[in-house]
């Protein structure tokens, strides 16, 4: 699921909404594929809460591991964008330190706004979530906040901080609520297709975005215990490369525009070439950067 949704964000920036507009005879203006990021927040919150609850690594070790997981590809993609766009040193420094979203500095790489929230907000969430005596009540609260953010995004209002808070909080309390699903492959596929359908239609029908969180929660719970076609090797590879796809597609697109010109990258052949390049770069980054760094064990006090 992560890989498909990362590709959805990539295709948004490659102009998929214009294609949808033409194919639908101007009936559909496109989709809010940015909701994929909200699913990433929910999934991250759930996985982090489960991992922290099982392993009890401590906040310092958690933070070091999180930096090793998110930092290398983030820094590489940011350096690429800095080289392509030559922003100020202040902007570059804030981006390289992964705090740009927290201090109001512009993003060198458009999708990178979510990464600082992914790194720093869970530190608070992990410490607080286990101390909440009524996790299901908290889950309902984050679900309502997330639904409001989804509807607002469908209507063109992007509340990024609240999206990060509600998504991570919902994911964490989804784990702490103790709810589990019965493995049922067809229902998982239906829930995932439902999320994609909401993203496609919510510009015209913003109210349907209120069910995005329940569907996302169902997919996260069911996906932890169910094997479907999404568990096949190609989709597993996309999932492993999803972080690279999410962050590298903008530098590749920007380089293509600068070197070839906008008029030469709007055709189908150019789009396919860009997608193949992004997949190749993301696969190489996972193999030669992400995996070796994650295998390294920092020398931290116990």
Q: Is residue 202 part of a domain?
A: yes
> How far is Cα 114 from Cα 116, in angstroms, rounded to an integer?
6
Contact 192, 230 (CB under 8 A): yes
> How far is Cα 53 from Cα 177, in angstroms, rounded to an integer?
13
pLDDT digits (tens, 9 = 90+) for 19-41: 787 777 777 777 899 999 999 99
Residue range(s) defining the domain that contains residue 7: 2-295
Q: Is residue 76 part of a domain?
A: yes
The predicted model scores a pTM of: 0.90
Q: Is residue 300 part of a domain?
A: no
> How far is Cα 139 from Cα 206, in angstroms, rounded to an integer?
22
pLDDT digits (tens, 9 = 90+) for 121-157: 998 888 888 788 899 999 999 999 999 999 999 999 9
Q: Is residue 301 part of a domain?
A: no
pLDDT confidence tier of residue 85, bands split at 50, 70 and 90 = confident
Strand, helix or coil at 268? helix
Q: How many domains does the chain have?
A: 1
Q: Is residue 45 part of a domain?
A: yes
If you count them, how many residues does the chain have?
302
């Amino acid at each position: 699921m992560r890989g498909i949704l990362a590709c959805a964000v990539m295709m948004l920036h490659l102009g998929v909404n214009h294609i949808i507009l033409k194919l639908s005879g101007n009936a559909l203006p496109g989709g809010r594929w940015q909701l994929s990021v909200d699913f990433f927040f929910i999934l991250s919150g759930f996985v982090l809460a489960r991992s922290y609850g099982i392993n009890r690594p401590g906040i310092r070790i958690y933070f070091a591991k999180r930096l090793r997981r998110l930092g290398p590809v983030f820094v590489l993609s940011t350096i690429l964008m800095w080289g392509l766009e030559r922003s100020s040193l202040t902007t570059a420094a804030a981006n390289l330190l992964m705090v740009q979203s927290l201090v109001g500095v512009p993003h060198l790489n458009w999708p990178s706004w979510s990464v600082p929230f992914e790194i720093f907000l869970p530190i608070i969430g992990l410490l607080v979530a286990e101390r909440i005596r009524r996790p299901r009540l908290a889950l309902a609260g984050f679900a309502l906040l997330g639904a409001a953010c989804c509807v607002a995004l469908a209507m063109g209002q992007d509340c990024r901080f609240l999206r990060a808070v509600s998504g991570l909080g919902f994911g964490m309390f989804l784990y702490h609520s103790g709810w589990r699903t019965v493995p049922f492959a067809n229902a998982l596929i239906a829930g995932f297709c439902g999320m994609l359908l909401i993203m496609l239609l919510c510009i015209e029908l913003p109210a349907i975005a209120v069910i995005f969180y329940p569907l996302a929660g169902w997919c996260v719970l069911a996906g932890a215990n169910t094997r479907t076609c999404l568990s096949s090797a190609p989709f597993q590879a996309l999932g492993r490369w999803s972080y690279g796809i999410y962050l590298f597609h903008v530098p590749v697109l920007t380089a293509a525009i600068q070197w070839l010109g906008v008029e030469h990258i709007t055709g189908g052949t150019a789009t396919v070439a860009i997608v193949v390049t992004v997949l190749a770069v993301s696969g190489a980054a996972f193999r030669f950067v992400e995996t070796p760094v994650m295998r390294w064990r920092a020398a931290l006090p116990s």
